[in-house]
Amino acid sequence: MVALENECLSVEIAALGGEMQSIRGRSGREYLWQGDAAYWPRRAPNLFPCVGGLTDGVYTLRGQTYALPRHGFVPVTELQLEERTETACTFLLAANEGTRACYPFAFAYRIRYALREAGVEVCYLVENTGGETMFFGLGAHPGFFIPKGQFDACRLVFDAPCAPVRIGVSEKGFVTPRRAAYPLKRGRELPLAGVNFPESLVLTGMSRAVTLCDGNSQPVIRMDFADFPFLVLWRSPGAPFLCIEPWHGLPSREGIREDFATQPSLVCLESGAQFRAAFTITVFEQEQEAIRREKRLC
């Protein structure tokens, strides 16, 4: 387990999947869902080389069929700790015999965590180390704790007025042709009480920063995700958490065994090229706000 800490925040990350296990503010408050098999045992999986599920659990490429688990192999793979300081660390997964059996590309996949005052930046770096174009989906699946009985009073507030489009998703989690406007309250607010969970809410065309506010309209966490075109909201039925997930890519289309070379929304990375996408989670506590104010006055 790797522990990062500054004057505002402490974060713990496991080598398995390079997955965050804890985000604590200066007061000791835990913001990250801590896992519970009764609802959802994970905390903040990293998704690669696919996001969501594949039809029949498989995809095709150059006439060959390959199997991948839901969200890819990274969540269940031990990553190598490549670099570490008190406030930052980088995990690495390089292509190997095991990955090539289900994903026939040469690559280097890195996750870098860096504390920024009361925020943690999560940066994905994918390098195509092979001689052919590679295709992949990539994203994050962090869950944020919401006390029982308070979920329906919470809301998400986007940084700017926007007109999101909801992407249709079947009961089994596959993309459908349905696209529909998803109006926000006052152009910016998404009350959680109005979302039909456990069906995932998949949005595009939204502002790329959003704040989770509690029932007293106080901000809890903010996510900045400018590098990601899709935002997914998910909750296990009745669970005291909300997953706020920035994605690059979408699951398989319903009823279609996807060819990765032609599947819409996947990242296409040329030989020798690098892909970078980052998001930041910022927590809100009175003490941390005071620290930021002091720094601005100095």
**For the segment 209-255, what is each residue's pLDDT rounded down to a tens digit?**
999 999 999 999 999 999 999 999 999 999 999 999 999 999 999 99
In angstroms, rounded to a whole number, what is the distance separating the alpha carbons of residues 146 and 154? 9
Residue 137: its pLDDT value, please? 98
Q: Is the pLDDT of residue 199 over 90?
A: no
- Written as one string, the DSSP assignment of 212-261 is EE-TTS-EEEEEE-TT-SEEEEE--TT-SEEEEEEEES--PBTT---BTT
Whether 294 shows a pLDDT value over 70: the answer reads no
Residue 297 has, within 13 A of its CA and on its CB side, a CA count of 6
pLDDT per residue over 62-103, tens digit each?
Answer: 999 999 999 999 999 999 999 999 999 999 999 999 999 999
pTM of the full structure: 0.94
Q: Is the pLDDT of residue 287 over 60?
A: no
CA nearest to 126, candidates 140, 141, 106: 106
Residues in the chain: 298
At 107-149, the pLDDT tens digits run 999 999 999 999 999 999 999 999 999 999 999 999 999 998 9
Q: What percent of the chain has pLDDT over 90?
A: 92
Q: How far is Cα 100 from Cα 265, in angstroms, rounded to an integer?
A: 22
Answer whether residue 289 shows pLDDT above 70. Answer: no
> For position 63, what pLDDT does the model report?
95
Number of CB atoms found within 10 A of residue 258's CB: 22
What pLDDT sits at residue 180?
A: 97
What's the count of helices (H) and strands (E) in the chain, helices before strands? 2, 24
